[in-house]
Amino acid sequence: MSAIVSVKNLRKAYAGGFEALKSVNLDIEEGEILALLGPNGAGKTTLISTVCGITVPTSGTITVGGHDTQTDFRAARSLIGLVPQEINLEPFETVMNSVSFSRGLFGKPRNDAYIEDVLRQLSLHDKKDDKIMTLSGGMKRRVLIAKALSHEPRVLFLDEPTAGVDVELRKDMWEVVAGLKASGVTIILTTHYIEEAEAIADRVGVINKGEILLIQDKADLMAQMGQKQLKIELAEATSAIPAELSRYELWRADDGLSLTYSYDTKGERTGITTLLNDLQKAGLQMKDIQTQQSSLEDIFVGLVKEPAQ
Amino acid sequence: MNFNAVWTIYVFEMRRFFRTITQSLISPVLSTSLYFVVFGAAIGSRIQEVEGVSYGAFIVPGLIMLSVMTQATSNASFGIYFPKFIGTIYELLSAPISFLEVVAGYVGAAATKALFIGVIILITAFFFVDIEIKHPVAMVLFLVLTCVSFSLLGFIIGIWADNFEKLQLIPLLVITPLVFLGGSFYSITMLPPVWQTITLFNPVVYLISGFRWSFFGEADVAIGVSLFAIALFTGICLAIIWWIFRTGWRIRQ
């Protein structure tokens, strides 16, 4: 696979001096779904806007399909479809006209058959002659997607497609995204719902304060999340880990009142039963047992939380 | 050049015009008819001929200019302001089109609408007064140039405005007074000498004078000066738009 979108040393500072992006580097592979996670104001929308041409970068380069978005903007933008975060639609137009307008802007000749296919795919076909103002919020969001797909883009940016959308519709949206991926479209979506990234992404990026903090295969992240900790609280403090237990990877708390054991839930044997037996043999008395699991949320919160003052 | 995009914007804008055809056409026709009734019949019957033309006929070019200038400005400013206001401007900015293509689409549509209204008013005028057009080619040229240049001005206003009040500000406070004081309803030779000189600083004088010349062969200022004035005005508008295009002022951060 090769990178269809390549962002190098991208920096964006606004006139007021606010630095929305600080030297972002990002390669997006063709055909993948990349989820960009980040809190509000992290720079997700600025990053998307800069790639799509709405915002001018302060420095750095962006190429889409090998075309520079500044010097060869026509070729670069032709490949991109953008679904904005806000529902920005001409209220008095019909769905069909609005979507055809988007196609025309991208220089493509009118093709009603293709547009109708897109509308069918998004369950909008029976609304094609309705005015946009008569549609529900969820339908309007689908119209935005239809507009972004109207010119047959190879890369689709979805800026928080499910913000403020009910659970049912969110699931529908995920199905739509999966369908688009199956048709070969590369998808970049921003979200602040962790479960959304878990549900549909191939790779997950975490962005905060204009910096990409982590970008990793979801599978690897999930493997990390498969780790669990067993915390054993002892009735009496132990000064050291007894020799009988040396074959276990145990971590002793400073006060000696607890031992922590890490294990893989996906492994064939967790080793918990033998550990507990060996604890007894070593003469340690247990007061309580707790298990903890690290989640994507822990990783995320750990990455973006403010450093302690 | 993305001709498809220019055409798409043009058609989209014209569709808005035809969707609101009643407001778009009936109101200028109605207001023109009122001007004819009030100025032409009621007041005009007490005014002698102006420059050898009946007063009713004399005001026709000025009335057309009044409507064309205000319509071109308001159509073009609203055309580009509305996408900014409702947020659909993102599409224009992320599409593979240059700013000049955006201008061509919006200004082309606004100028067409204004031209349409100008022609309708001319037709309406035929029902009230006898008019003869001495220089039809020059008449069309002046009309088209006015439509285009004031649409360019409107486009600039639409980019500049960040609320509806500002959108109305220039048409209301600048264009309407300049048109009224620019000799729409009188010949500037009817003014005292001091005011004649002051009036020459009003650019609209040159447009109305040139346009009136194409009807009656009589003008307040030389026809060449009129043509130069409208060319200069168009040039200034184009230069400002070029600057907006270079800097992304008020559109691209």
Within-domain flag for A176: yes
Farthest CA pair distance, chain A: 81
| Phi, then psi, of B249 in degrees rounded to 5 | -50, 125
Going by the DSSP 8-state scheme, the letter that residue B98 receives in this structure is -
Residue A218 maps to which CATH number? 3.40.50.300
Within-domain flag for A113: yes
Q: Is B93 helix (H, G, I), strand (E, B) or coil?
A: helix
From residue B68, how far is each of A134, A281, A293, B119 by CA, in Å? Answer: 35, 99, 72, 9
Chain B residue numbers with beta carbons less than 8 Å from the beta carbon of A77 are: 94-96
Confidence check: pLDDT of A296 > 70: no
Within-domain flag for A303: no
What local confidence, expressed as pLDDT, does residue A226 receive? 66
Mean pLDDT of chain A: 88
Chain A residue numbers with beta carbons less than 8 Å from the beta carbon of B5 are: 104-107
Reported as a single tens digit per residue, the pLDDT across A13-51 is: 988 889 999 999 999 999 999 999 888 888 999 999 999
Residues A273 and A199 in one domain: no
Number of structural domains (chain A) is: 2
- Give the CA count within 13 Å in the CB-facing half-sphere of A36: 27
Going by the DSSP 8-state scheme, the letter that residue B186 receives in this structure is S
Residues A158 and A268 in one domain: no
What local confidence, expressed as pLDDT, does residue A46 receive? 93
Domain range summary for chain B, segments of one domain joined by +:
3-247
Residues A116 and A11 in one domain: yes
Within-domain flag for A298: no
Choose the mutation target among A12, A105, A156 for the interface with B, i.e. most B CBs under 10 Å.
A105
Confidence check: pLDDT of A238 > 60: yes
- Beta bridge partners, A37, equal A191, A206
With CB atoms and an 8 Å threshold, state whether A104 touches B248: no
List A residues 33-52 in contact with B (Cβ-Cβ < 8 A). 52
Chain A residue numbers with beta carbons less than 8 Å from the beta carbon of B20 are: none
List A residues 137-156 in contact with B (Cβ-Cβ < 8 A). 147
Residue at a domain's end among A195, A223, A251? A223
Residues A170 and A37 in one domain: yes
Chain B residue numbers with beta carbons less than 8 Å from the beta carbon of A76 are: 96
Residue at a domain's end among A188, A223, A258? A223
Nearest-Cα distance to chain A for B245, in Å, is: 13
With CB atoms and an 8 Å threshold, state whether B97 touches A107: yes
Residue A274 maps to which CATH number? 3.30.70
Residues A213 and A247 in one domain: no
With CB atoms and an 8 Å threshold, state whether A77 touches B15: no
Nearest-Cα distance to chain B for A293, in Å, is: 43
Chain A residue numbers with beta carbons less than 8 Å from the beta carbon of B91 are: 101-102, 105, 147
- Give the CA count within 13 Å in the CB-facing half-sphere of A143: 31
Within-domain flag for A110: yes
Q: Is A17 on the interface with B (CB under 8 A)?
A: no
Reported as a single tens digit per residue, the pLDDT across B142-190 is: 999 999 999 999 999 999 999 999 988 888 888 888 888 888 888 888 8
Confidence check: pLDDT of A128 > 90: yes
Give chain B's contact residues with A (Cβ, < 8 Å).
2-5, 7-9, 11-12, 15-16, 19, 83, 86-88, 90-97, 248, 252-253
Q: What is the pTM of this model?
A: 0.84
Within-domain flag for A186: yes
Residues A114 and A192 in one domain: yes
- In terms of residue numbers, what domain contains A77? 3-223
Residues A196 and A232 in one domain: no
In terms of residues, how long is chain A? 309
pLDDT band, very low/low/confident/very high, at A309 (cuts 50, 70, 90): very low
Q: Is A270 on the interface with B (CB under 8 A)?
A: no
Confidence check: pLDDT of B213 > 50: yes
Residues A94 and A171 in one domain: yes
With CB atoms and an 8 Å threshold, state whether B253 touches A15: yes
Contact A75, A115 (CB under 8 A): no
Contact A197, A265 (CB under 8 A): no
Residues A194 and A269 in one domain: no
What local confidence, expressed as pLDDT, does residue B53 receive? 84
Residues A142 and A199 in one domain: yes
Residues A236 and A180 in one domain: no
With CB atoms and an 8 Å threshold, state whether A104 touches B4: yes
Residues A110 and A246 in one domain: no
With CB atoms and an 8 Å threshold, state whether A54 touches B90: yes
| Phi, then psi, of A68 in degrees rounded to 5 | -70, 135
With CB atoms and an 8 Å threshold, state whether A105 touches B9: yes
